[in-house]
Amino acid sequence: MKRSPVVPARIEFDGAGVPHAPDFGDVYHPRAGALGQSRHVFLHGNGLPGRWQGRPRFAVLETGFGLGNNFLATWDAWRADPERCARLHYVAIDLHPPRPDDLRRAHASSALPALAAALVAAWPPLSPDLHTLHLDGGRVVLQLAWGDAESWLPQLLLEADAFYLDGFAPARNEALWSPHVFKALGRLAAPGATAATWTIARSVRDGLRSAGFEAERVPGYPPKPEMTSARFAPVFVPRRAVGHPLSARVAPGAPRTAVVVGAGLAGAACAQALAAAGWQVTVLERHAEPASETSGNRGGLFHGVVNGQDGPHARFNRAAALLAQHTYAPLIAAGHVTGQLDGLLRLAGADADLGAMQALLRAQGIPPDVVQPLDAAAASALSALPLAEPAWFYPGGGWLQPGALVRHWLERPGIALRTGVAVQALRQTEGGWSLLDAGGQELAQASAVVLANAGQACTLLESVGNGMPHWPLGLQRGQVSLIPADTPGLRRPRLPVAGGGYALTLAGGDVICGATAQLQDPNAALRAEDQAFNLQRLRRLGIEVEPDRVPLAGRVGWRTLADDRLPVVGAVPLPGAAAQRARELPRLPGLFVCTALASRGIGWAPLLGELVAAWAGGGPFPLEAELVEAVDPARFGVRRARRAQASGASDDGA
């Protein structure tokens, strides 16, 4: 998908406070009122609230989010309906989203002040990403894709129950009403989906009909006498490939029960996301307590990534970091989790050029509320350390105690934790999966199983049968060091600082630093030479301590990581299957994996949990299709198949 910097909307307000878009020669809503139009055209035009009543989930897709009036009207109607769906998903695209100040001004006199204030407070950065926001206690999920609809629609993974076709008039904004856009709407429509728009342009009705909708004119909202309403009724609905993310869901009629194996960050994140989506979840943990392995560290970092290509790795990490910030900020503020979210510094290298760093962000369209380049003096002032090189400042980065986060997530209603339970085998059943102990006795059964037990996930998969996929995963030993607060001459960073190593100050004043990285090293004992290595790397961060004044203290753990340094998350491929594309590779029904979090478990966990819940429930997915494929466990089999094909072609050519 081609990415371009986001150009914010240029908005002017007339004497009556009505917002105008001078670049399109149009208004954002009629003088008669935004709320009235939203309710009549988009809610009533889609048969809402009646159509969502009694359903576990309802998904709306809007083209042209604008100032969010249609979303606020929908959210308000959902809250007021005692028979509402359990969860409302609202996905919207906008090429020119408003700046926060313009959004705040537009809603200064909102008829829905509390909801408008919540939207303004949660407004995401204007970076060219898919932003996921959880509102109303997580029961309302708002996903905002900044960019043009023609590029974004093929990347969205969802089935929309209702379409809000908004945006400026077709004559003034032709690209939003193009045949390519209408074709994509048909691809994203759920059975029985509806669509509505305020325009009656012939090209719009023809576009809807070409995409499989039956469109008609109905009474409009003043001053327009008519509008368009449509129902999805295609003559032919092509079947999705068996490996497509939306086809790998648990059967809609199956009980929404899931077992998660592993109670570390990965398992807890998956469990809470599934529970939030209405699943009854059992978590099985082989240790006596959750977060007993690397998730039990006293502190860990989370932040995004910048690189020159803004490729899948950087984009995935940015999406994860933005969701992590949105997720963790209220938990830290409420005291549920110990941590700090005042920003994080990552050193850029002694030869880094500040001008080049700024130019890179401009070219990629990454705004300063995501990341900022700082010279050494500014970075030193923020960190209270004598830093000697420029740094990237991530305002939404920080640190937290992962064990506290795991325990908080596992306390969510709908989750039952069972510790001291070792799963030794999986058995597919008619209705899902059975999990067995070493003696072959059943421990639990469910419609869905999520293997979130690090490297042992592959071991469990071997019990399913011959031909199970082998993924290039490694086990990396890491030792972190703890420097007591009263260590003579200790400089404590005001913010977490990373670069080669890292350092963060815990709530009590102790400093954690690290971490070492040794592959295939089984030694669980703290080693003096590893501590010396950690302390030596602190010098780059402006922290000098005498090694003989620091007691040998810290923690050893093992990280599971894939060879491409991305997690392995999604539906497990069918044994022995091969395909040239991940979405063509058939999957084992109801079996999912979430592993290889490497050293980024805290930053990745919220996004990975949402991703697993989307796989199991059929979307909407929190990532665009390109990034879902980048972390899909099927990617390794696809690479092998492509290499084999290339090798065969080469042999034939010889």
Question: What's the CATH number where 200 sits?
Answer: 3.40.50.150
Q: pLDDT at position 13, please?
A: 87
Count of C-beta atoms within a 10 Å radius of residue 288: 8
Could you tell me if residue 204 is inside a domain? yes
Measuring CA to CA, which residue among 622, 633, 632 is closest to residue 158? Answer: 622
**What is the structure's pLDDT at 76?**
98
Domain of 287, CATH number, reads 3.50.50.60
Same domain, yes or no: 130 and 279: no
Is 79 part of any domain? yes
Establish if 300 belongs to a structural domain. Answer: no
* pLDDT above 90 as % of the chain: 86
Average pLDDT over residues 35-62: 97
Do residues 58 and 201 both lie within one domain? yes
Q: State whether 554 and 578 are in the same domain.
A: no
Q: Is residue 2 part of a domain?
A: no
Give the model's pLDDT for residue 374: 98
Mean pLDDT, all residues of the chain:
94
For 112, the token pair is 């829905």
Tens of pLDDT, residue by residue over 205-247, are: 999 999 999 999 999 999 899 999 999 999 888 788 888 999 9
Token pair of 230 as six digits: 């449509």
- The whole-number pLDDT of residue 649 equals 59
pLDDT band at 32 (very low <50, low <70, confident <90, very high): low
Do 447 and 485 reside in the same domain of the chain?
no
Global confidence as pTM: 0.96
Residues 6+ apart with CB under 8 A from 264: 290, 291, 292, 293, 294, 295, 406, 452, 453, 454, 601
Same domain flag for 537 and 642: no
Q: Is residue 312 part of a domain?
A: no
pLDDT over 60 (residue 574): yes
| CATH code assigned at 491 | 3.30.9.10
* pLDDT value at residue 151: 95
Residue for token pair 């019990």: 463
**Dihedral sign of CA atoms 34, 39, 45, 51 in order:** positive
On whether both 143 and 213 belong to a single domain, the answer is yes
Determine the structural domain holding residue 104 and report its residue range: 12-232
Cis-peptide, bond into residue 170, ω within 30° of zero: no
Compute and round to an integer the Cα radius of gyration of the chain. 26
d(CA 453, CA 266): 8
Q: Which two tokens stand for residue 321?
A: 């970091």
Tokens 């004559």 -> residue: 171
Q: What is the DSSP letter of 453?
A: S
Is there a single domain that holds both residue 137 and residue 92? Answer: yes
Instruction: Quote the tokens at residue 260.
Output: 């998660």
Q: Are residues 225 and 262 in the same domain?
A: no
Do both 595 and 462 map to the same domain? yes
Residue 163, pLDDT score: 98
Do 386 and 506 share a structural domain?
A: yes
Instruction: Tell me which residue of 161, 158, 230 sits closest to 191, measured CA to CA.
Output: 161
- Are 456 and 582 found together in one domain? yes
The pLDDT assigned to 436 comes to: 98
pLDDT at 652 over 90: no
Task: From 191, 176, 188, select the one nearest 143 (Cα to Cα).
Answer: 188
CA distance 413 to 613: 16
For residue 403, the model assigns a pLDDT of 97
| Section 534-557 average pLDDT | 95
Neighbours of 210 (CB within 10 A): 12
- Which residue's structure tokens are 């009122």? 33
Domain end point (choices 559, 594, 611): 559
Six-digit token string for 317: 């990490």
Q: What is the pLDDT of residue 24?
A: 79
* Residue 126 and residue 268 in one domain: no
Q: Tell me the C-alpha distance between 478 and 475, whole Å.
A: 10
- Render pLDDT for 270-282 as a digit per residue (tens, 0 to 9): 999 999 999 999 9
